[in-house]
Chains A and B, each alone.
Chain A
Amino acid sequence: MSGEQIGLWAGFVFTLMIFSYLLGDNFLYRLAVYVFTGLSAGYIALVTVESVLLPWLRGTLLSTSGDMGARALGLIPFILGLLLLFKASPRLGRGGNLALAIIIAVGTAVALAGAISGTLIPLARATGSAVSLDPLNGFLIFIGVASTLAYFQYLARRKANGQIQRRLLSRAVSIVGQGFIVVTLGALYAGAILTSLTIFSERIAFLLARITGG
């Protein structure tokens, strides 16, 4: 039996072990989960070391070019990475805050810039252009976007009796937006079901293929 065949049969067994959860939490299910989790974690660690850390070390600290600037530059993330290890100690945990602050700040800046240039502007432009491309579809998109935004606005006028109430038009539009949100959530749920069925059917096909000798 070749290695590939062993792998296929191992997949067959592990699939059955996962399906055993239908009978309740049991050892086989947990074993399969632990194996997959452990393999994934181990592989990620290995890939990270080989694909990220070692190349970085070779290019900076262990560089044979003798460029001190590159080494110094490579030392900064090394130090920041070491500081993160201090988070394991309650007493020295503050040492890792600097690295975390940099990560969070840079991540936020990157995400913000990307959101503007990659989401907001293109979507706004697409929403506008959709009307011209496909009037009906574009109109639905426009109505959906506008009414959904209206649903999430909370500005209202205080009436004489102290009651806070939005205007009738705003409320009507928000109701439409609520309808779009409901449809969207329903689509998400339906998509999740379809994905689950797809995965399940693929596993069934895989099992049958194993059983029938494929």
Chain B
Amino acid sequence: MTDDFDKRLPPDEEPEDDFDWLKNMPDDPSNPSSGDNLGFTGELSWRQDVEDAFDNQLDAANNDLPDWQRTDDSPQGKSTKAGGLGFTGELDWMRASGQSDEDAPASDSGLPDWLSAAEPKSTEAPQVPDADVPDWLARMDLMQTSPAEDENADEPLDDDPMAWLQQDDDSDFDDEQELEPAALADDMPDWMQSLRGAQPDEEEPQASASLPDTGALNWLQEYAAEPPPPEPEADLEPDFPLPADEPAAAGSDIPDWLSDAYSSDFASPESAPPSFMDEPELEDEELEPVSDIDLPSWLMDETSDALPNDLFGEFDTGMLREAAENGLPASPAQPPVPTISDEAPAAKTGITDWLQRETDTAFSKIGQDDFLNTLPDFDAQPHASTVGSGDQTYQDSEPEPFGAADGTPDWLAELQQQDDLTAEEMTTELPTAMASSPYDMPSDDDLFAGLGNALPAESAPAPAASGEFFNTGELRNIDDILSSYQDIETRVSDRTGTLMNQADFDMDSLLSDAELDKISALRESDERRAEMGELSADAPDWLSDIGVSVGSDDVSAAAIVRKQAQNERELEDLTDQLRALHSAGLELPSPIADDAPDNMKALLVGVPEIISPAPMRIGKPSLAENLVLSAPQREKINLLQSLVATDDRDKEPELTAIDVTLEDSPDLEAIAGEGAAKAAAPSRPARRSRPKIDRLLIAIVLAVAIILPFVVRGLRIGQLPPLSFAAGSPQAIAFDRVANLQPGDRVMIASEYGLTDAAEMDTTLDTLLRHIFARGARPVIVSTNAVGLLHAKNVLERGVVSGLDIKTGSTDSAGNVVVNPGTGLNRFGRVITPNVDYVVAPFIAGESIGLRTFSQDLGAALANDINGKATNLKVTSYNNFALIIVVAETSDDVRRWAEQVAPLTSNPLLIAVSSAAAPMAEPYTVSNRNGMLVGYKDAYTYRAILDAQAPLAPLAGSTSVPTVVPTKPPTATPIPPTATLVPTITMTFTPSLTPTITLTPSVTMTPTQTFTPSPTFTATFTPTNVKATDLPPTWTPTTLPGGSADIGAQGLVIQGVVNVSETVNMRDNPSRQGKVIAALPGRSTVQIIGRNEDGTWLQVRLEDKREGWVSAQFIRIIEPGTGTPSPTPVAYRVDPNAYVSLLSDSSYASGNDSLQTTPEATPEATLEAPIAPALAAPAAAPLPAQGASKPRTPYRDQRWYGMTMGLLAVIGIITLGAIINIVRGLLRRGRK
């Protein structure tokens, strides 16, 4: 869009004349008059003849001209014939531009100073504008002219200052400097390109061929950025003799800038009639795209201020009125009109007329390329566009260049060729002829109607006879041309307020206050609005769309707006977004400045209503300073400012990028509701000023649900985790793996969890370490997580080791075992020390790669511990470790070890993971049945089993720890195996049951070495099934010996727990028809003494020795060794020295429950104490504890109950949320 115009090439690469019609020109300048050199030619059959005739007339006229007006053939062979350039209205002195160096030895002498100043080689004052030159022109000059450009600009200027006008024909034109079409397109606005796109092909130059250089638009854009022109220098005084009798008149008649502008315009091809007159091939439909939507962005954009305010200020009608009333004003710096004979007054008057017409035409067509055509190509031809000092304007020695046919436009050539037509006829017939052309061409009257034709009657010189110029076929001078328009009359349309031709109309009347008021009133009237549509329909399409006020055709840019307004819908009919835009638009600054003169509104029909003369300040760089921005644009700029930290606003708080993008994104609804002003200036959003109520409520509910079971016993609902693992489960396998460890075995433990999961995995790691130490194995802790390694080290050294309590062999007066807590001795009676009993290896960096590297050289990797001390480990492979345990919080850690380590060892890989990682880690336990522990639940059960197993049996053969044996040899009564008994069951319980049943209690426990199992016992022993670490099988009613007699005969003491919270009836026989003899409370414990045949009823014995039958479904049999606490306190056979107990847990030692480290030792209990299984094959086989106790840490159960309550709360919250959503959906649907 408009920014494209800034993409200008350097001067030496600037494509001055890169239009198609120029590119198609032949290099041979010998045939310049050919119509082929024009942008369009030949399409009109009569055109070539007209041109040829016109050329002849120009030659003839040239011959008749005085010397100074005569154009000599340039030595370069530049043609002076018509056809090369359009009509430029060059003044006579401009003819000197065609002189060669010989004829014009010094350009300065042959040119007015202001042109000399603009000449590239003029190094004295190349850019100094005239003081009388309008600012905008001066700025144009300074902006577009630079020394570098001047140097490159155009050698022909040395001998012909107007040669730049002929560069179109210049055969020396460097093709390399031509701008390629693509580059041209970049510099052209879209609407221009649309015109170009309408061209049928390149061989038929169309409208775009006449388009001006884009430097014009650049000027418009850069206008405001240019500094004010410097003051003219004094040495720019005219160096040619000035006629003494003319300065006063000239100076009073023509403002300097007007004269200069006139000269410049005449010398410029852009001053030729608008390019649309050169577009014979454009058809209506091809011009359709030139609509209001194709208007230049600076015209359409509400934020555009590309058109400076000063531009209109300089061209207000006051100045024109002054020119009309006073003629050419006198000015001290105004040089006299050059010695152009007596025709000068007429010419001067003609200049005024022409300039007025040009001004009116130009500004009435703002927004289209033709307006830009009227502007000189300041960039490409800086010397020509430079308005020099007004002190010198003409040179008497300059020949009249008018005869340079290159500057004659085609349309004028056509006029000249019609010798038989009078000017009046031309004015009436030419438009008709042009209107009949394929394109809509405004008539001559239309083009030059308005100000230009409003000549003050009193100041108008005696013109030549109307049509003289055309009748004679001679081009005498510019006065003839200009005076031929005398008969064009102008008036103000009574209805539309626009200018129309009227014979008795002059500038004074036109610009009088009354007329202006009349215009304004008419413009505001409904009739006017109603008429706009009709008039627009009569106008050419492209004019209608673009909106140009042309003569009597009331087509203006404002008409577009009005036409749109007619189609406007009611505000209520608009969508919310459109209404928001509407309200935002109302908040924008008024497009017309309040101080805009009314005459500007009158003259620039429709333009002020569209163009917003927003001020632009050039100063400190700012992204959005003084620009009229819409709310979305403001938001984007705020975002950019926050990102690049260039926000220099003092008052407004700076928004962060997050604020803008997330919290304060453009919201049209908010704009509509709160007003565009607030939306355009976003305020700082509150940063989490209020908590999320819903989240807070959920958190509170969840927290309360978890906390309450800690303090309210009644809310401890649900069941605790089982006290044993199911046989064959991954958990049972894991337990077996550890329980099978032999003293001195090395166990590698990978502690792959950090602080986040420490609360869950600490319990598991702690339990595993205790079990490993209990087995006499040596853990080696490694990790690819540095934090996890540190955490494991702390758990080991500050938790497990220090928590290992040592029970002494002595008892107190009450018979309790004396315990030395936290002694940290191993089962060998030695103090647990690092790098002897355990190793914490260094951190393994690099995850998978590091693990693979670690696996390659285990010996070196484990040579030192985390503190750099020697570990004395002599390992060469993973097979040196009896077990590898991975304690991980994610499945990725498990996978890493399973992939990088497990294939390298034949030993099992035990996995302990969090609940979250369990599903994905599960597959790795399936293979090789490695075993797995999951979360807190399994840790709880594991710990319960360990506690129930305490105390550990001393090592067989250990000299430091004596073997604990019953005082009397057991005289076990052999239990005949039954068909329903599993051999392993019989084997496992026989040793322990024997002393209980048959031995007499003894308070003195003397170890004996004479214990020998009975022969019958061995008969039931199946060595292949003997596994010292096997858990007792799950007892079910079907495995019980049949009948109470059997159980009693076996001497088994089997207990069960009522597994319901309600009371359960105990009947006198195993059927529902039996009499209820007791009601067993929920969770109560009973002794099972028998069962019925099918096992559906169990015979139980209460504490009061009552016996009865209870449905088996309500009784959970306590497995021997893992059951709930026995009503009778567990007694321990006192170790004469010491042994390790796992019952203590210093990390959870606080709370309500007291540690039961000193169970009561009663004679009866002593009999139930385990005895050393001398018969057991494994020497380290632990003995199952009778009546295993649940974990004794105070909050271990509470945690489980809290988790249960929390889980229920989560389920309730999710369910409630789903219900609420469903209800809301139903209500919403109901409302609809």
Give residues 158-209 of A contacting B (CB, 8 Å): 184, 187-188, 190-195, 197-205, 208-209
B842:A200 contact, CB within 8 angstroms: no
Residue of A43, A50, A123 touching B927 (CB-CB under 8 A): A123
Asked if B920 is at the interface (CB within 8 A of a chain A CB), the reply is yes
* Contact status B1206-A197, CB under 8 Å: yes
A122 contacts B927, C-beta separation under 8 Å = yes
Q: Does A48 contact B (CB under 8 A)?
A: yes
Residues of B within 8 A of A (CB-CB), count: 68
Q: Which residues of B contact A188 (CB under 8 A)?
A: 916, 919-920
Q: Which residue from chain A places its CB closest to the CB of B763 in the assembled complex?
A: A202
Residues of chain A contacted by B1151 (CB below 8 angstroms): 209, 212, 214
Q: Decide if the interface of chain A is mainly helix, strand, loop or mixed.
A: helix
Contact among A141, A195, A202 with B926 in the assembled complex (CB-CB below 8 Å): A141
- Counting CB contacts under 8 A, is B24 at the interface? no
CA A214 to CA B787, docked complex, whole Å = 26
Report if A114-B786 is in contact (Cβ < 8 Å); known contacts: A51-B843, A119-B899, A193-B1210: no
Q: How far is the CA of A51 from the CA of B756 in the complex (A)?
A: 23
Q: How far is the CA of A23 from the CA of B755 in the complex (A)?
A: 23
Contact A25 B927 (CB under 8 A): no
Instruction: Tell me whether B895 is interfacial, beta carbon within 8 Å.
Output: yes
Main secondary structure, interface of B, reads helix
- B1127 interface contact, C-beta 8 A: no
Please tell me if A126 contacts chain B, counting CB pairs below 8 Å: yes
Whether A51 and B919, one on each chain, are in contact in the complex, defined by CB atoms closer than 8 angstroms, is: no
Using Cβ atoms and an 8 Å threshold, which residues of chain A touch B848? 107, 110-111, 114
A195 touches B1195 (CB 8 A): no
Query: Does A91 have its Cβ within 8 Å of any Cβ on chain B?
Result: no
Chain A 11-54 per-residue mask, 1 if CB under 8 angstroms from chain B, else 0: 00000000000111100000000001000100110011011100
Q: Does A84 contact B (CB under 8 A)?
A: no
Q: Is the pair B919, A184 in contact by a Cβ cutoff of 8 Å?
A: yes
- Tell me whether B757 and A199 are in contact (CB under 8 A): yes
B936 at the interface (CB under 8 A from A): yes
Nearest Cβ on chain B to A32's Cβ, whole angstroms: 12
**Cβ distance B760 to chain A, nearest Cβ, rounded Å:** 4
Docked-complex contact B927 and A126, CB < 8 angstroms: yes
Segment at the interface with A among B230-238, B302-310, B879-887, B1196-1204: B1196-1204
The verdict on A22 contacting B696 (CB below 8 Å), with A47-B786, A205-B1198 known, is yes
Is A117 an interface residue, CB under 8 A from the partner?
yes
In this complex, what residue of A is CB-closest to B1209? A197
In the complex, the answer to whether B843 meets A208 with C-beta atoms within 8 Å is no
A213 to B924 alpha-carbon distance, docked (Å): 43
Question: Is B852 an interface residue, CB under 8 A from the partner?
Answer: yes
Q: In the complex, what distance in Å separates the CA atom of A214 from the CA atom of B1151?
A: 6
Question: In this complex, which of A55, A107, A115, A122 has the most chain B Cβ atoms within 10 angstroms of its Cβ?
Answer: A122
Q: How far is the CA of A191 from the CA of B692 in the complex (A)?
A: 26
Contact A191 B914 (CB under 8 A): yes
B707 sits at the interface (CB 8 A):
yes
Tell me if A57 is interfacial: C-beta within 8 Å of chain B: no
A106 at the B interface (CB under 8 A): yes
Q: Would A36 and B1203 be within 8 Å (CB), given that A123-B923, A209-B1150, A214-B1150 are in contact? A: no
- Interface membership of chain B positions 695-726, coded 1 if the CB is closer than 8 angstroms to chain A and 0 otherwise: 11001101100110011000000000000000
Which residues in chain B, 815-858, are within 8 Å of chain A measured between CB atoms?
842-843, 845, 848-849, 852
Say yes or no for A80: interface residue by CB 8 A criterion. Answer: no
Q: Are B900 and A123 in contact (CB under 8 A)?
A: no
Decide yes or no whether B928 CB sits under 8 A from chain A: yes
What residues of chain B lie closer than 8 Å to A118, measured between beta carbons?
895, 898-900, 902-903
Which of the listed residues A47, A51, A199 has the most CB atoms from chain B within 10 Å of its own CB?
A51
What is the chain A residue whose CB lies nearest that of B841? A51
Given contacts A118-B898, A130-B926, A204-B707, A48 and B845 within 8 Å (CB-CB):
yes
Assess the A195–B916 pair: CB atoms within 8 A. Answer: yes
- Bound Cα distance A4, B505 (Å): 107
- With A106-B849, A208-B710 as contacts: A197 and B1207 at CB distance below 8 Å: yes
Which B residues from 736 to 795 make CB contacts under 8 A with A? 754-757, 759-760, 786-787, 789-790
Given contacts A52-B845, A184-B919, 19 further A-B contacts (CB under 8 A): A24-B690, A24-B691, A47-B866, A51-B843, A52-B843, A107-B849, A110-B900, A111-B848, A122-B927, A125-B927, A126-B926, A187-B918, A190-B915, A193-B1210, A195-B757, A198-B935, A200-B706, A204-B706, A214-B1194
A interface residues, Cβ below 8 angstroms from B: 4, 22-25, 36, 40, 43-44, 47-48, 50-52, 55, 103, 106-107, 110-111, 114-115, 117-119, 122-123, 125-127, 130, 141, 184, 187-188, 190-195, 197-205, 208-209, 212-214
| 30 sampled A-B residue pairs with Cβ under 8 A | A23-B691, A23-B696, A24-B688, A24-B692, A25-B688, A52-B842, A52-B843, A55-B842, A107-B848, A110-B849, A111-B899, A114-B896, A118-B903, A122-B902, A122-B924, A187-B918, A190-B915, A191-B916, A191-B919, A194-B915, A194-B935, A194-B1203, A195-B914, A198-B915, A199-B757, A201-B1200, A201-B1206, A202-B1199, A204-B703, A204-B710
